[in-house]
Structure 1
């Protein structure tokens, strides 16, 4: 018997040991693919990193492409943003391409040899990506520091290559101001997007971006979508991360559903006129229905509730509320509305909502009790008793 127990113990110990070893066996993790492009212009083989979104292998649609300079450093962050943006429906899915570089050669590629590097991107990288991947005509270009200056120069030289240009701490810029002024004069209807930013203490970098901002304020046409952001909490090394995040969300400004956290936000944005125009633009750009989303409606109503502003709350409910809107509210959201009505002694309005909910939640003990309480507040005892009785029956069952 002892020998049997010993064998059993050794067998269990062996199984546990194998299991632990299996669990601790390391495996490689990868982020997309590394491709190599033989470059005539750079006279070398250059690596690029490519990441396709999760739906790529299961669809036949075409995707926008985000091109990130200094991909050896910033490519993983671009992929992280893609995953976050698409999970929370802030942007459409897009392909991420990181164009790698090496120190100290990157400084020359973005300055003295920028024409060669520009030709490398235009004549070799873009055709390679378009040939090997399903790409739409929409492209974004991002760069930091000298790469940021290269991004702006690319806008001046070949504005048709990209739809959106994003530059973090672009340097040098000051000597490009005259060229920017000439560019704007020659392109009075340019419709490209430019987002550039800087941290507060970057010396000559700040001088250049301030000059560019001043020029754009006076000379930029209305068709050009541009933003200059001073990143108060950033430093030179962190501006690429904040800029890439802000730049992408700025480019896809009309993609996410509107959300309002306060009535002040709503008023500053332009009220309902802004809301309706936003959804019109969203529909035209991305093919969504030209209707205010249920989520936007609820956030406006919720703002009135949170700020105890019954007048504004009632205005939103009158404007937006319908049976389908109430039925589609999830979780406790409809009860936030009824509770606010009851708080302001608007029992009939609360009852209307309860009865809409009852169509889909006829077996809800809680809902029957709430209706009974509301009828009690209206001193309608007979009706209240009927719903209390039903709530009791549901409880017993």
Structure 2
């Protein structure tokens, strides 16, 4: 398959001060792939996290975003916020945003039993993602096999169609206020049956519903309405509640209604809530563990931390390390309590995980000083100097 790439910078508008042009802030790149399946050149907008290329062995889960040029900015900001500054709500992730060329042709859902409707468009677009785009992204970028598909409105319908007909492609499916009323509700009925009768083990679906009904109605009265103006919210509410009842299909499913959001305002909060739901197993609130278990032993606390990151590693299929500063803070917390055995656990954990970080050895040096093991303290201090000639150790162990 013939492929070539064109990269250019996607920038926030340039800032000016006293007539002088300032430095630009880059938040992504535009990549390009020629699709033999679609017979056209397709652009993709790429967001890479701050740590990208910082370590050769780092890999990232991938978020595939439909209507990519519209929602790229909000999703990249949310991912950055939820994965940095000590926040563990979402892993650092690569975003592949796919702009549209012909939205109806690419995204319109279908019923394969309906001979009157041409389903070739959505199937070709799905095949493009599966057979061309995903292999291209996996070959060129530092990716994991943990993938999420995100779509709004017609894109939300595409997300559901992909879940029921191509469920192996993604781990998580975020359908934002999808359109389910098309073709006299044939896709609605088809999707219901597929989700009821198939197994979706290890797959997650988060569906959101916006408030698109007249002010005089509520979520109960709207279900009995028959006018076209309420067709979207009626079909979405009925679908969401129906899928909720299917418990034998092993689908990890959650849906949410936003009473204060309309069809156009709901995507951003849906992205935020959806990512938090998909990666709920990644969150560990260290302060809460201590607050709610004031008498927990340091060893038990340490084991909770180790077990948590072991579980995250298993979920992502890639070794995930705890935040170095947080582990160091916990070690120092136990140092202040003079619980030295517990402090050692966290300092040693940092050395195992971050053997090239001088601070790991600085902290261990202070531990050995506090426990009157001066020879070991000297060894740790010298190791810190070897890595960094300006170590952070608060005490200089005596030779």
TM-score by length of 2: 0.60
Please name the residue that 1:248 is paired with.
275
Deviation string for 1:172-191 (max 9, x for gaps)?
25433432343235433532
CA distance in 1 between counterparts of 2:252 and 2:262 reads 25
For the 8 Å contact 1:143–1:167, the answer to whether it is kept is yes
Selected match of 1:193 from 191, 204, 217:
204
The structure with the largest helix share of the pair is: 1
CA distance in 2 between counterparts of 1:224 and 1:129 reads 27
CA RMSD of aligned residues (A): 4.0
- The structure-2 alpha-carbon separation of the partners of 1:55 and 1:123, relative to structure 1 and needing over 3 Å to count, comes to same
For the 8 Å contact 1:194–1:225, the answer to whether it is kept is yes
Matched, 1:142 2:169: no
Offset at residue 89 of structure 1 (A): 2.4
Deviation string for 1:237-257 (max 9, x for gaps)?
111111111111100001122
Larger radius of gyration: 1
- The structure-2 alpha-carbon separation of the partners of 1:259 and 1:169, relative to structure 1 and needing over 3 Å to count, comes to farther
Matched, 1:217 2:244: yes
Q: Secondary structure at the match of 2:83?
A: helix
Q: How does 1:121-160 map to 2 (within 5 A)?
A: 121-160=129-168
- The structure-2 alpha-carbon separation of the partners of 1:27 and 1:282, relative to structure 1 and needing over 3 Å to count, comes to closer
CA distance in 2 between counterparts of 1:86 and 1:156 reads 30
Q: Secondary structure at the match of 1:76?
A: helix
Please name the residue that 1:95 is paired with.
94
Matched, 1:231 2:258: yes
Please name the residue that 2:28 is paired with.
32
- The structure-2 alpha-carbon separation of the partners of 1:93 and 1:175, relative to structure 1 and needing over 3 Å to count, comes to same
Q: Secondary structure at the match of 2:130?
A: helix
Offset at residue 118 of structure 1 (A): 1.1
Q: Secondary structure at the match of 1:35?
A: strand
Q: How does 1:45-84 map to 2 (within 5 A)?
A: 45-60=41-56, 61-84=58-81
Unaligned runs of 5+ in 1: 1-19, 267-275, 299-320, 329-358, 361-397
CA distance in 1 between counterparts of 2:273 and 2:17 reads 44
Q: Secondary structure at the match of 2:201?
A: coil
Deviation string for 1:204-245 (max 9, x for gaps)?
221222222222122243632111100122111111111111
CA distance in 1 between counterparts of 2:277 and 2:250 reads 15
Deviation string for 1:44-72 (max 9, x for gaps)?
21110112111111112221101111111
Deviation string for 1:109-160 (max 9, x for gaps)?
2116211211121122111101111211100000000000000001011000
For the 8 Å contact 1:190–1:221, the answer to whether it is kept is no
Offset at residue 21 of structure 1 (A): 8.2
Higher RCO (Cα < 8 Å, 6 or more apart): 2
Q: Secondary structure at the match of 2:245?
A: helix
Deviation string for 1:271-328 (max 9, x for gaps)?
xxxxx999956642336799xxx99xx9xxxxxxxxxxxxxxxxxxxxxx96788999
TM-score by length of 1: 0.60
Unaligned runs of 5+ in 2: 1-15, 109-118, 214-229, 294-302, 314-318, 331-337, 346-369, 372-399
- The structure-2 alpha-carbon separation of the partners of 1:164 and 1:277, relative to structure 1 and needing over 3 Å to count, comes to farther
Q: Secondary structure at the match of 2:26?
A: coil
Please name the residue that 2:82 is paired with.
85
